[in-house]
Amino acid sequence: MPADTNPHGDIFGGWLLSQMDIAGGVAAFQRAKGRVATVALDAMTFHTPVWVGDVVCCYADIRRIGRTSITIGVEAWAITGAEGSRRLVTEGTFTYVAIGPDKRPRPVPAD
């Protein structure tokens, strides 16, 4: 939306980062079979801007599973206009920790 842009019409990186964190969090939640918390953004690369009107798609894949943590790679792609061209706009690596009912880290269950 226009409120999420700079004066040149590019979407703020923080907005895009939050969408990617949601996508990574969903994947981590499913694998951890419960609540997770974001503990690190290990890497982030912005390739091209996202413009108002683009459709943003986020794709997450599990990179590593530790005792209590899950590392997820997330790519954000933009689909532009009626022609539907797709381009990789951003990619990052997020780390989540499984959280137990006591709000403390818990082991990630075996698959």
Domain limits for position 22: 2-98
Q: Give the domain CATH number at 57.
A: 3.10.129.10
Cα-trace Rg, the chain? 16
Q: What is the pLDDT of residues 15-32, one digit of tens each?
A: 999 999 999 999 999 999
Domain count, the chain: 1
Residue 36 counted as domain residue: yes
Residue 104 counted as domain residue: no
**Strand blocks (E) in 54-105:** 55-65, 69-80, 85-98
What span, in angstroms and rounded, lies between the C-alpha atoms of 61 and 90?
14
Residue 111 counted as domain residue: no
Q: With the C-alpha atoms ordered 30, 36, 37, 38, is the resulting torsion angle positive or negative?
A: negative
The three-state secondary structure class of 64 is: strand
Global pTM value = 0.92
Residue 42 counted as domain residue: yes
Residue 59 counted as domain residue: yes
Q: What is the pLDDT of residues 45-83, one digit of tens each?
A: 999 999 888 999 999 999 999 999 999 999 999 999 878
